[in-house]
Structure 1
Amino acid sequence: MKKLGLVLVLACVITGFFYFDLHHLLTFSGLKSGLSEFQEWLDASPLLVAGGYFVLYVLVTALSLPGAAVMTLAAGALFGLWWGLLLVSFASTIGATLAFLVSRYLLRDSIQAKFGDRLKAINEGVEKDGAFYLFTLRLVPVFPFFLINLLMGLTTLKAATFYWVSQIGMLAGTIVYVNAGTQLAQLEGLSGILSPALLGSFALLGIFPLIAKKILDVIKARRVYQGYTKPAKFDRNLIVIGAGAGGLVSAYIAAAVKAKVTLIEAHKMGGDCLNYGCVPSKAIIKSAKIAHQMKHADNYGLEASDATFSFKKVMERVHNVIAKVEPHDSVERYTKLGVEVIQGYAQLIDPWTIEIKLNNGETQRLTSRAIILATGARPFVPPLPGIEDVGYETSDTLWNTFAERDEAPKRLVVLGGGPIGCELAQSFARLGSDVTLVERSERIMIREDVDVSEYATQSLSESGVTLLTNHSAIRCALENGEKRLTVEHNGVESHVEFDDMICAVGRVARLEGYGLEKLGIETKRTIVTNDYLETLFPNIFAAGDVAGPYQFTHTAAHQAWYAAVNALFGNLKKFRVDYSVIPWTTFIDPEVARVGLSEQDAQEKGIAYEVTKYGIDDLDRAIAESADKGFVKVLTVPGKDKILGATIVGDHAGDLLAEFVLAMKHGLGLNKILGTIHTYPTWAEANKYAAGEWKKAHAPETALKWLEKYHTWRRG
């Protein structure tokens, strides 16, 4: 109601302004014809006229009324250059700030709610360099100042910043206009002020801050490198530290464009994904799923039976899978691609020099024009009292520890209800372990929507996992040879006895031992980088888990492209990393896959959305495979088919998600998916049917009623 009242007041004032023909006074001809009368008023009451002029200028600017340019001329004509400049400078800035605040009060919340996803990049840019860009716009009078006032009000720029930048930025243009006003008698119109030459000068003035920013960047870079001696020649174009997904892709790109590149890895090629993460976990998930299907073979018209197996052979298969994938990331393959691979531990000596402690005990130094840090992450082990006494495994260590066992762990505790914890808990439960999963949040997979978490909870429970959500691990103890975990729930402590424990509470970036501290490279859980993945030193980049904000193999590879290209060609053209469409999948059974916004994301960010949901229990292929569980949920812009996000729960969800990833990346809506032929019967039809649900919900009811009448008429 307050906003509506303000709108009505503003509407009345503006309407009255034009109804009483007051805008005529603020035209060039109106000013010239009434100048002598204004001068008489000024001579009679100088303070009153100056005050009235000031208030009127503020109102005209605040209401975005036409005539500010003419009033600026009037200031020069009536008050002279210096007094006119003083009055206009403050009146215009105050009025502009009022317009800015009115725009913010009336429109910003609704605009941000409706177009928040589109404005995200703008908001981030304004937060970082808003003052600089506003200053540039203020220097060029070609841009309508009233429009700048209103549009800036829709952003996150602080009002105080808007005021002082406007005060300074508009000064140059104000001087030109006020000075022209002192010569009003000689002017025939506004075009006499803004000549092509003057407009060109203002354009150059506007470009100057951009040039100055480039110069400042160069000066800043030189200051950063102060105290270091840059080599006259370099041994390499690029050195990459770490041979996980980020490092491998970076090195591959460099070799593909014929740069001389060295890849340094202290341990195993392929990094965590190949050796400890994605590959082994998916291998054991498959074995566990087969065992589960055998136990429930009656779902397929077969005799159900408990799977008999050697756990050692299951683990042997896991290692065989790793070995089969290993050649894709091997030293031999990358050497053939043109990458020099060195096995050793690398440390930064200066911004261009790497010292490598080779695995054979020798030491080697190399210089490089650019360096990429792709050192990955490691499992985080919570500092629980007694945890070292009872022992624990992580997603890195369990593959070797459990490899020689004939049976799966009898009693297994999994700490953490995120993707890794849920995948491992379900797999080991299906392989015969008595699994208890402890999660301190109120539900597992807390980053997903509630309905997704509920599906995951049901699935893990059906697989035999005991879920202790909203339970905090307090301490561990070894009592009479028995391992025990104490947990707390609603202030009450209880105990869980176990034989083995897996810590799956998250991963932390590998930051220590690479010389980051020595060079002053900033870290905040990850290496701090800019939009181009540059660290403090513009020639040192970071990519993958060590850079964040995501810890996925595919995002590491995605970042690697930007890091490599910017490292090799940044002197010509640099590219900002695009995080606009990031997919991920949790490989529990059924799988959970998502891209873009979830409902809770949209609510937290204040983004308006509609939900369309299609139940996979209605999908023919799912019914045929007795896997008719899950759903496809799509978030769209209200009233439009533009996709804000998609979540799929069900078999093959990670594969099905690719269609939505493609659509979002290239701006395709649900109508395009609906209009695409999908083979029958396939799982991919779920995406089409979800699009069909959206179409039905947005059917043109009025047009359909008229069509019904038309067909009735046609029948006679």
Structure 2
Amino acid sequence: MSEFDFDVAVLGGGSGGYAAGRTAAGAGLKTVVIEGGKEVGGLCILRGCMPTKALLYAADVIHLARHAGTWGVQAPQVGFDFEQVMARKNAMVKDFADGRVQQLTSGRFKFIRATARFTDTHTVGLSTGDTLTARYFIISTGSVVSEPPLPSLRNVGYLTSDEALRLAGPPKSLIVLGGGAVGVEFAQFFARFDTQVTLIQRSPHILRDFDTDAAAELEKVFRREGMTVVTDTRLLDAGRDGGLKVVSFERDGKTETASADEILFALGRTPNTAHLHLEKAGVETDRGRIVTNERMQTSAQHIYAAGDCTGPHEIVHIAIQQGEIAAHNIAHLDRPRSIDYRLLTHVVFTDPQIGLVGLTEKQAKAKSVPCLAASYRFNDHGKSLIMDAKDGFVKLLANPATGEIIGGCCVGPMGGELIHEIIAAMARRMTVHELAVMPHYHPTLAEIWTYPAEELADQIKLQASVSDNRTGGV
């Protein structure tokens, strides 16, 4: 009889947890997945990727309909039924969640609905009153909305991203606190459903982890669509003025205020680990985030972690990859795999969309990585002109010695789709020379990548020629 109830216990049944459980069970390990949420599905399905993108697509449709005259199409009195927009989103979320429930209850592993917390290094107590033991654990409990730093904001009241997804109608006016992906996506969604939006960002520009040129392009579009964008601020206080909620902030040494019917707090999420009693299992954390090595192993050698609870990137495909690697390494101790963030990808589903893979110019400079960069704008590209999608650009970063592509950014139409060409190129370690001569159909959006590739190939060729001349061709 085994010393433990299970070979592997996975805490959390979201995307990372399901990937871990499926992989562990597929390797022949006796596995249990324990899900403590009120609903089953995880953040991506229930309150993240899927519902927000369903809403954003509706916003894109109404925006396109309102500008149909550009193509000579008459679409008078374009309106919307917000209740129907939300109902469609809810129906889609239910379908996705039902699918996840079927996966979790398929019988390939045991599935338990309960919250779990460690009582010792190999034991967890469940909210049902039961306990179970496992030889290995994979923690994938996700994240929760962060608490606002201002007590006064809590007193005034605010919307979280979860609550924004449940609104019966768009507010007349809205202050969005935070200019990350969540903040900018909700800002444009509500603006396109006739909400007067003010976006307030702490950093010098929105999307602080992106290059300035990408952020500036989106800020330009936001302002053109009637939004107010305020950057490089410090929140001071929140209060009320009549029926409106008011936020005061410091900018350029001066105190300013903004008021609206509602406030959306979009300043990040916190690892969902406080309830786990990780200290009893010997698991090290950093401000709640579970610390792991490149094999997804924690400070306790038999405990692994994956997804938002460990980071450093709160992205669903990363959570899935981490969960699979953690389970693989438990099943195959003799041939471990490591997580590789070289192909780290981000997509922001605004209009224009932003897709990013690999290094940014900012990151390359900070890491002292030599690179050349070239870009090409959509307002000089055939297919995007046909679509009247003139905002944005594509940019490539390359190793100046070899021409290998080390980063790419697309701000423009279908940016989230177009970036995948560069992901594939980087996965095969292609050079700009190879990308430049790769056939692309005309007219397509994708062929725009050949222009910065050609420019970089010419730059590298010129540098090599100059170097040869200086050395006498030796």
1:336 match: secondary structure: coil
2:35 to 252, 258, 265: 265
The answer on 1:367 being equivalent to 2:138 is no
Figure out how many residues of one structure are paired with residues of the other and give that number. Answer: 463
1:329 match: secondary structure: helix
2:114 corresponds to: 344
2:6 to 233, 236, 240: 236
Give the distance between the partners of 2:173 and 2:279, measured in 1 at CA. Answer: 42
Q: 1:304 to 1:458 in 2, by over 3 A?
A: farther
The answer on 1:622 being equivalent to 2:388 is no
2:442 match: secondary structure: coil
- Alpha carbons 2:116, 2:124 under 8 Å: kept: yes
Give the distance between the partners of 2:255 and 2:377, measured in 1 at CA. Answer: 40
Cα offsets for 1:161-212 (capped at 9, x unmatched): xxxxxxxxxxxxxxxxxxxxxxxxxxxxxxxxxxxxxxxxxxxxxxxxxxxx
Give the distance between the partners of 2:464 and 2:25, measured in 1 at CA. Answer: 61
Give the distance between the partners of 1:263 and 1:269, measured in 2 at CA. Answer: 12
Structure 1 residue runs without a partner (length 5+): 1-230, 704-716
Whichever residue aligns with residue 8 of structure 2, its letter is L
Q: 1:573 to 1:275 in 2, by over 3 A?
A: same
2:93 corresponds to: 322
Shift of 1:376: 0.8
1:430 corresponds to: 192
The answer on 1:313 being equivalent to 2:313 is no
1:561 to 314, 324, 330: 324
- Alpha carbons 2:122, 2:281 under 8 Å: kept: no
Give the number of the structure whose residues are more often strand, by fraction.
2
Shift of 1:559: 0.8
- Alpha carbons 2:121, 2:280 under 8 Å: kept: no
Alignment of 1:103-502 (within 5 A): 233-267=3-37, 268-303=39-74, 305=76, 307-330=78-101, 332-336=102-106, 338-357=108-127, 362-400=128-166, 402=167, 405=168, 407-502=169-264
Give the distance between the partners of 1:463 and 1:508, measured in 2 at CA. Answer: 32
Q: 1:262 to 1:642 in 2, by over 3 A?
A: same
Give the distance between the partners of 1:661 and 1:273, measured in 2 at CA. Answer: 22
Whichever residue aligns with residue 157 of structure 2, its letter is G
Shift of 1:687: 2.0
- Alpha carbons 1:252, 1:337 under 8 Å: kept: no
1:397 match: secondary structure: helix
Give the distance between the partners of 1:321 and 1:460, measured in 2 at CA. Answer: 28
Shift of 1:441: 1.6
Shift of 1:625: 1.4
1:393 match: secondary structure: coil
Give the distance between the partners of 1:698 and 1:524, measured in 2 at CA. Answer: 43
- Alpha carbons 2:173, 2:260 under 8 Å: kept: yes
Give the distance between the partners of 1:445 and 1:701, measured in 2 at CA. Answer: 33
Quick check: 663-672 or 501-510, which moved more? 663-672
Q: 1:327 to 1:678 in 2, by over 3 A?
A: farther
Shift of 1:700: 6.6
Cα offsets for 1:343-382 (capped at 9, x unmatched): 111111222212221xxxx322221111100011112132
Give the number of the structure whose residues are more often helix, by fraction.
1
Shift of 1:432: 0.8
The answer on 1:656 being equivalent to 2:427 is no
Whichever residue aligns with residue 261 of structure 1, its letter is T
Cα offsets for 1:633-652 (capped at 9, x unmatched): 11111243211211111111
TM-score by length of 2: 0.93
Q: Which structure exhibits the higher relative contact order, with contacts defined as CA atoms closer than 8 Å and separated by 6 or more residues?
A: 2
Residue identity over aligned pairs, in percent, reads: 32
- Alpha carbons 1:297, 1:305 under 8 Å: kept: no
Shift of 1:337: 5.6
1:396 match: secondary structure: helix
Cα offsets for 1:403-435 (capped at 9, x unmatched): xx2x31111110001111001001100011111
User: RMSD of the TM alignment (CA)?
Assistant: 2.0
TM-score by length of 1: 0.62
Whichever residue aligns with residue 266 of structure 1, its letter is G
- Alpha carbons 2:148, 2:154 under 8 Å: kept: no
- Alpha carbons 2:237, 2:249 under 8 Å: kept: yes
- Alpha carbons 2:175, 2:264 under 8 Å: kept: yes
Shift of 1:574: 2.2
1:541 corresponds to: 304
Give the distance between the partners of 1:702 and 1:498, measured in 2 at CA. Answer: 58
Larger radius of gyration: 1
Whichever residue aligns with residue 41 of structure 2, its letter is G
Give the distance between the partners of 2:396 and 2:335, measured in 1 at CA. Answer: 37
